[in-house]
Structures are given as structure tokens and as C-alpha cells.
Structure 1
Amino acid sequence: MTEPDPPPAGVAQALYDRRDGRLALEVVDAPAAELARPHRTNYFTAYWVRAGRGTFHADGTRHPFAAPCLLFLTPYQAARLDPDDHLHVTAVRFHANFLCVETHHHEVGCNGVLFNDPYGPPAVTLDESTEREVADLVARMRAELDTAGLAQAELLLSYLKILLVRATRLKRGQQGTAGGGVRLPPPLPELRELVERHYRRLHAPADYADLLHATPKALGRLVKQHLGKTLTELIRERVLNHAKWELLHTLKPVKEVAREVGFDDELYFSRLFRKATGMSPTGFRAFETDVRGGSNLSMPSARPSIPPPPPTGQNADRPASDPPEPGA
């Protein structure tokens, strides 16, 4: 059994592991004192901020927030919430074992919008109507978790998908704006296109400044002002999103993954990866593969994630792995 790497000093790490018997979905009221400390999980997380305001820190980036809103956190990001006044926050956390937003992106459309989005703010503002919707969905999830009735997982998954789809639609409607409805200035839309095109080989802010005919200082100031992070952090986040996907969905060696995102030095890439996730690339892959049981991955698994149905009828004597013959 693969154990997770020990967390870096100063970061509270609580990782979901199905082998502990815990559910892959939880809905909890998160204590403000706990949220104020740097913490990391391997859950996809939605924080419903019901009261209060403050600053949301994720991997060194800073974003102001004010209730009512939703804040989204991608697995393995180190985060904390600095409150300006009393916070009331409910956390909806789910592991990829419950819903992998990357593999099932077509079902909810939130990957790259709510999660794994280095270009947009992590907050979705709620009005009175949409907060009532969120409150209703959270209450339904809580009630279902308490009762454990027939088809519990199917109902919970339905409620979660509705929450994510509604939040994705809201954020898409709010994208391109910063607080107060101000349009993001050029050349930030052009910068996004350039990073998507070149992040595997261009890692220096000066490279993008040259392509945009801007000075690195002026471009960096715009990125920091409107995206809450440095241009270096933006590029690095995009690189690491790609690397994590490759580690979880392919059998490529770490050295090959490193080279694919522009790093010839595997050791330097591994240090960068560990700093961002709290785990080495090898440890990250091994732990998450064990936790997921091979589900949604291109890795061999000791058991299928969904057991095959027992053979019935005319095919009862045929091995389960053999496809039925034509016309059967």
C-alpha cells in the first residue's frame, strides 16, 4: 500500500484515501480557524462563503472575496482564507473517485472554469436567487448523507453535478470581469492564448512580454493586478496542470513528462512539482493510483473499478472477458 509523502512544514495535509473507509464526498461546516491555516487536500473543493469577507490564498496567489460567493480549490493546492470579519463557510469536497471533473468534463463542463483554471479568479459571486439554489442543493446533499437510502450515490452525484453546472454557468457569465464589473484589459486575453500555445517550451515572463510587445514589468503588473498572481506563477500553474494529468492518465516515465513540459532536468522538475503539490511526481502518481484503484487511469489495476455483471442466459459459460460472437 502506497502512503502519501509527509506534508511540508507549516501546511496541514488531509488526504482522502478510500482504504480508510471514508466517503469520497463530504459536506461540512468548516471552522474559520482551520481555514485560516495553510491546508492541502486531494479533494476538489467548493467553499460556500455564507457570511464574511477576506482574502483567499491559493499557492501564493491572492484573491479578495465577499459573501455570498463560492470559492473553488483544485486538489493539492495549498490554501488559506484570511478573514476581515467573522466567516461562515460550508465546504463541499469530493474526490475524483466520486466525480472526476477532468474525465467527465463533458457532463458538467467545470474543468478549466471552476477547477484547473490558472487564468480566472477562483470566486463565483452569488445573488439572492442563486444563493437560495446553492443552499437547497447543499441541504439535499446533507440530508442524503445522513439517511443513506436507496441509490444514495446516484442522488448525491446528481445534486453535485447540478451545483457544478450552475456555478460553471455563473462563472462563464462573470468571466472577463474583475470586481465591480470592469473588463479585463488587453493584452490579458492575448496572453492566455499565448500561454496555452507555448507553455511547454516558454517558461520565462520575458518571452511572453516580447511576443506581446510589452515590457516584462508592465505585463507582470497587469497579471498581478487582475489575476492575483505573478506571470511566473501563472505559467508554472499551467505547466503543472499538464504534468499532473499526464502522471495520472498515462504510463509515461517522469523524465518523459518533464521533457514534455520543457524540463530537461528531471530533478529540477521534481523539486518544482513537490513544492507545488507537497509530493514528488512518483509519490503523487503511486498514491493517487492506489487510492483510485486504477479508475480513470491508463494504469494496470488489480481489480476493475466496476465489477463485471455475472454471466446470464446463453452466455453463462463464456468467460466474461470474451466478447459475444457476431449475432449472439
Structure 2
Amino acid sequence: MNDQPFLTLIDPQNGNLAFKVLGFDDSRHFDHVQRNNYYSLVWIKEGTGKVTADFAEYGFDENTLFSFSPYQPFMFAPGPIKGVAIHFHPDFFCIHKHQTEVACHGVLFNNIYQPPYTLIDQPSTSSLDFLIQQMKLEMKDPALAQYEILVSYLKIFLITASRLKAGQQPSIRGAENEKPFLLQTLKDSIEKDFKKKHLPSEYAESLNISPKALAKITKSYFNKTLTELISERIIIEAKRELYLTSKTIKEIAYELGYEDEHYFSRFFKTNADISPQLYRETVGVARGEN
């Protein structure tokens, strides 16, 4: 399918992957659980199948773009799919630091309320294909300011995909019954209180609904339990702090409502499949300050 199956830039300081464009014509690259220390954009251009991400399963058709954050577990079921993937390490381009420029944090990446995919329409297909070809040309024939050129192409790719995803996200308030308004209130409550409220029962109480009823509604709309939603939101914030700051793990734990640093570390590892310290050492841009 591709004239060159993959192109890779390596970080000369540590030998790790910095940026990669990978063409694929089957699922062998992704048919086992991935827990990478970089961002992945996986564009399925042909074929259908199923993907497991964060322990929820989703079906997909052709022209679907998946977005995965560092250490987010995902796996595609074996099958005949074709497409292209872009991998980039936070050292190469930091989503958190450039949020005002590309606005993809909470849209493409780290969106706990929506599936991790975007449907690519025909006009966007042409635009994204052009950007990928330009990335490949730049990587095959490097010249002055290669990093700046590649980051520019990546930004446009992310902005284009983010605009599509934002337009495809249904408004919870606009659904047909009274439940979505409750779920919008739940989302607002999690965003406001996740640092101090860690239990589903606390949210059920504040919403004046039984924990069992709220659990059933949450699962049916988000394909996740309320415990998973709360945990994911805490982990995203913890990763951001590990990622961008030089705060100690104890300080981060305390800010997130955990007085016991060791309990927090166990919670983090259970949900992120990696310890806070190792996450900082392999991903966090503030790791050199510790």
C-alpha cells in the first residue's frame, strides 16, 4: 500500500521514538495491547473491525481516526484493515503545553465521556492525506528547520481532526429524554469536584439519585462505570501535573485529595498501568527538574 512503510525520527538524547509515520495493511502492529509512552493517531482508511480502549470495546468502519494518549491501553482485533498511523512523543510535541494553539486536549485526547475516535469525511480525507504526504517528504529529505516544519504539519492535522470531532460530539442536553440533563450535571460535578469527591455515592447524593440508578444511566450513556469516569479524570489531572510540573508525587497526591502518597501511587499504577515516577521519567517534560 505504501511506497515506504514507515519513517521514524529518533530523539538523539535518549534514543527513543520522537516522531513516526507508519503505513499498515493489516492489524499486526496493533493486535496486542499497546501501552506506549507517546501519542498515537491511527487512521483506519479501509476495513472494519473492533478496538478495545481503556477496557471498553468499540466497533468501527473505514475512514475512522483513533487518538490515544501516552500509556492509554488499546488493541485492535485481528483483521484486514489498512491505514496510516502517526506516533509522536510529548518531547516532540506537548499537547498540554500547546493547548491554546491546537485545542485537542479534551477533544481528541483525554476525553473520558466520548469514544476515542473521529469520523473522517471526504473533504478532510484529502487535507489529511496531503499533510501525511508532506510529513513523509520532510522526513525522507531532511533540511534546515525539519522539526519546525513537521510540528507545523502535525498541528494542522490535529486542528483539522479536532474540529471534526467537536462537530460530531452530540450535545447531552439535546437528547430525547430527561436523563441527558442529569448526565450533563454529572459531568459538570466531576469536573468541579473530582479532587475532593472520589466515590460514586458522593455524586449520587449531590444529584439526589440512588447510586444504583446513576450507575445504570452512566454505563448506558458513556459505556463506563461512574467509578471509571472518576478515576480517569483523576488520572488525567495527575498525568498533567507529572507531565508539566516538578511538584513531588506527595504534593500532587495531596492536591488530588489523597493524604497517603503510597495509596495514591497504587491507585495511579492500577489505573495507568505504570507508577507515577516511571510515568514522569518516560513522559513528563519536567522530569529533568527532579
- TM-score w.r.t. length of structure 2: 0.86
Quote the Cα distance in structure 1 between the aligned partners of 2:23 and 2:271: 27
Say whether the 8 Å CA contact 2:38–2:87 is kept in structure 1.
Answer: yes
Equivalent-residue separation in structure 1 for 2:84 and 2:145 (angstroms): 24
Q: Alpha carbons of 1:127 and 1:269: their partners in 2 closer, same or farther (altered >3 Å)?
A: same
Unmatched 5+ residue regions in structure 1? 1-15, 302-328
Code of the residue aligned with 1:300 in structure 2: it is E
Superposition map of 1:160-179 within 5 A? 160-176=154-170
Contact 2:112-2:232 at 8 Å conserved across structures: yes
Q: For the residues of structure 1 that align with 2:12 and 2:193, how far apart are their CA atoms?
A: 37
Query: Which residue of 238, 256, 264 corresponds with 2:259?
Result: 264
State the SS of the aligned residue for 1:213. Answer: coil
SS of 2:41's equivalent in the other structure is strand
C-alpha RMSD of the superposition: 2.4
Q: Which runs of 5+ in 2 are unaligned?
A: 1-9
Q: How far off is 1:216 after superposition?
A: 2.4
3-state secondary structure, aligned to 2:184: helix
Matched, 1:73 2:68: yes
3-state DSSP class of the match of 1:32? coil
Query: Are the aligned partners of 1:69 and 1:126 in contact in 2 as well (CA < 8 Å)?
Result: yes
Superposed CA deviations along residues 27-82 of structure 1, whole A, max 9, x for unmatched, are 10245023121111111111101112233222223333222111110111111122
2:94 paired with 1:105: no
Change (3 A) 1:220 1:81: farther
Give the AA of the match of 1:129.
P
How far apart are residue 182 of structure 1 and its match? 6.6
Paired position in structure 2 for 1:128 = 122
TM superposition shift of 1:22:
4.7
Any conservation in 2 of the 1:249–1:299 contact (CA below 8 Å)?
A: no
CA contact (8 A) 2:246 2:289 kept: no
1:239 equivalent to 2:228? Answer no
3-state secondary structure, aligned to 1:145: helix
Match of 2:85 in 1: 91
Matched with 1:311 is: none
Question: The residue matched to 1:76 in structure 2 has which SS?
Answer: coil
What secondary structure does 1:282 align onto? helix
Aligned equivalent of 2:289? 300
Offset from partner CA, 1:230-258 (integer Å, 9 cap, x none): 21111101101111122232332212211
Q: Distance in 2 between matches of 1:280 and 1:141?
A: 34
Amino acid at match of 1:282: Q
Q: 1:288 to 1:273 in 2, by over 3 A?
A: same
1:128 partner amino acid: Q
1:63 aligns with 2:58: yes
**Distance change (3 Å), C-alpha of 1:217 and 1:168:** same
Give, in whole Å, the separation in 2 of the partners of 1:111 and 1:126. Answer: 19
**Offset of residue 299 of structure 1:** 5.5
* Alignment match, 2:216: 221
Tell me the amino acid that sits aligned with residue 152 of structure 1. Answer: Q
8 Å Cα contact 1:250/1:299 also seen in 2: no
- Inter-partner Cα distance in structure 2 for 1:265 and 1:136: 50
Determine whether 1:147 maps to 2:150: no
Distance 1:211 1:59 in 2: 27
Map of 2:243 onto structure 1 = 248
* Structure 1 residue 23 displacement after superposition: 4.8
Give the match's secondary structure for 1:64.
strand
User: Does 1:196 find its partner at 2:185?
Assistant: no
Deviation at 1:189, TM superposition (A): 1.6
1:73 and 1:19 map into 2 onto residues whose CA distance is 25
Letter paired with 1:208: Y
- Secondary structure of 2:129's counterpart equals helix
Measured in 1, the distance between the counterparts of 2:181 and 2:80 equals 36
Given residue 97 of structure 2, which amino acid in structure 1 is its aligned partner? Answer: T
Matched AA of 1:229: K
Structure number with greater Rg is 1
CA contact (8 A) 2:18 2:92 kept: yes
Task: Give, in whole Å, the separation in 1 of the partners of 2:44 and 2:67.
Answer: 11
User: 1: distance between equivalents of 2:58 and 2:84?
Assistant: 19
SS in 2 for 1:34: coil
Matched position secondary structure for 1:124: strand
